[in-house]
């Protein structure tokens, strides 16, 4: 009986691998890239995701997600269901003091501006293009730089608990060149957003986007293509920043992911 059970498990694993390959571990905040047979349909938690002509797809796991991921593959009318468990992460608590009060709790006059900024960012992050750049390896935007802020840390600004930090911070002197982590298309380029200052968002396909903020110089315009390693701007302290640094973000649509999950950090 035990042997039969074992054989069944082996059969199940090998048959599901034929229909579906998944790259990435199911940690909270991670980007998962998959490959299925072309002309298959993929549903993640019941929501259909884009499948490329070669069968590639992507999705992300939110920071606090705990429930299993339900993956459904439909090919020629045959449905296969796969359930994946989530690995949880421990997040840090980060206290920052000495911020100008208006940066911690914005004054009423800027509410409209913030609302407008969020609209622009939200629109850029909702792009669902056919690009498949997300399949490639990401490179660090600044080499030999120290990481001073990580994904998921709870922020306490001037003693007031705020929403968690979703970025990865690289310490660098003002004016340091920033390189594109991956090929992409610019979907937002702004010099002065309230929180994020000089900001660029790239679309990498299927809802995967990256965002660079607090930039001093912004060299690209909306609609431009960028190649991995190309200089896109320089490090600054624009927007809400205590000092010069680069803060990068990784998103799958409106789900904020952990940039360190796709970077090879030393």
Binding site for Zn ion (CB under 5 A): 149, 167, 169, 247
Q: What's the min distance (Å) between Cβ of 139 and Zn ion?
A: 19
Q: Are strands 93-96 and 154-157 parallel, antiparallel or unpaired?
A: parallel
- Alpha carbon distance 238, 215 (integer Å): 6
Give how far Cα 28 sits from Cα of 44, 48, 61, 159, Å. 15, 21, 6, 27
* Residue (195 or 252) nearer to Zn ion, CB: 195
Q: Beta strands 78-84 and 154-157: pairing type? A: unpaired
Beta carbon of residue 265, minimum distance to Zn ion (angstroms, whole number): 15
Q: Nearest distance from residue 169's CB to Zn ion, in Å?
A: 4
Looking at the Cβ atoms of 169 and 190, the one nearer to Zn ion is 169
| Residue number with CB closer to Zn ion (169 or 203) | 169
Give least dist CB 102 to Zn ion, A: 18
Beta carbon nearer to Zn ion, 169 or 258: 169
Q: Decide: 70 and 45 in contact? Cβ < 8 Å.
A: yes
Measured at CB, which residue is nearest to Zn ion? 247
Query: Considering only CA atoms, which of 230, 20, 228, 232 is closest in space to residue 137?
Result: 228
> What minimum distance in Å lies between the beta carbon of 47 and Zn ion?
29
**Burial of 46 from C-beta contacts in 10 A (0-12 / 13-18 / 19+):** exposed
Which residue number, 75 or 237, has a Cβ lying nearer to Zn ion?
237
Report DSSP state, residue 194. T
Q: Whose Cβ is closer to Zn ion: residue 1's or residue 265's?
A: 265
Q: Which of 101, 106, 102 is nearest to 117 (CA)?
A: 106
Task: Report the distance separating Cα 37 and Cα 214, nearest Å.
Answer: 41
Q: Cβ of residue 91: shortest distance to Zn ion, in angstroms?
A: 14
């Amino acid at each position: 009986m035990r042997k039969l059970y074992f054989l069944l498990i082996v059969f199940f694993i090998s048959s599901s691998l034929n229909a579906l390959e998944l790259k990435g571990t199911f940690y909270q905040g991670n980007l998962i890239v998959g490959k299925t047979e072309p002309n298959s349909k993929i549903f993640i938690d019941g929501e259909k995701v884009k499948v490329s002509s070669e069968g590639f797809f992507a999705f992300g796991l939110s920071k606090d997600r705990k429930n299993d991921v339900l993956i459904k593959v439909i090919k020629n009318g045959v449905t296969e269901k796969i359930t994946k468990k989530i690995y949880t992460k421990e997040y840090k608590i980060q206290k920052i003091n000495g911020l100008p009060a208006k940066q911690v709790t914005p004054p009423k006059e800027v509410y409209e501006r913030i609302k407008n900024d969020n609209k622009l960012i939200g629109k850029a992050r909702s792009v669902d293009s056919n690009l498949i750049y997300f399949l490639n390896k990401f490179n660090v935007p600044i080499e030999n730089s120290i990481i001073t802020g990580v994904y998921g840390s709870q922020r306490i600004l001037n003693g007031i608990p705020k929403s968690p930090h979703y970025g990865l911070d690289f310490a660098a002197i003002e004016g340091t060149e920033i390189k594109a982590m991956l090929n992409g298309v610019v979907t937002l380029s702004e010099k002065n957003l309230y929180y994020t200052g000089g900001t660029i968002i790239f679309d990498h396909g299927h809802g995967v986007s990256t965002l660079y903020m607090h930039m001093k110089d912004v060299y690209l315009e909306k609609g431009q293509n960028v190649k991995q390693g190309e200089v896109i701007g320089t490090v600054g302290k624009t927007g809400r920043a205590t000092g010069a640094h680069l803060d990068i973000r990784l998103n799958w649509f409106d789900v904020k992911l952990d940039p360190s999950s796709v970077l090879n950090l030393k």
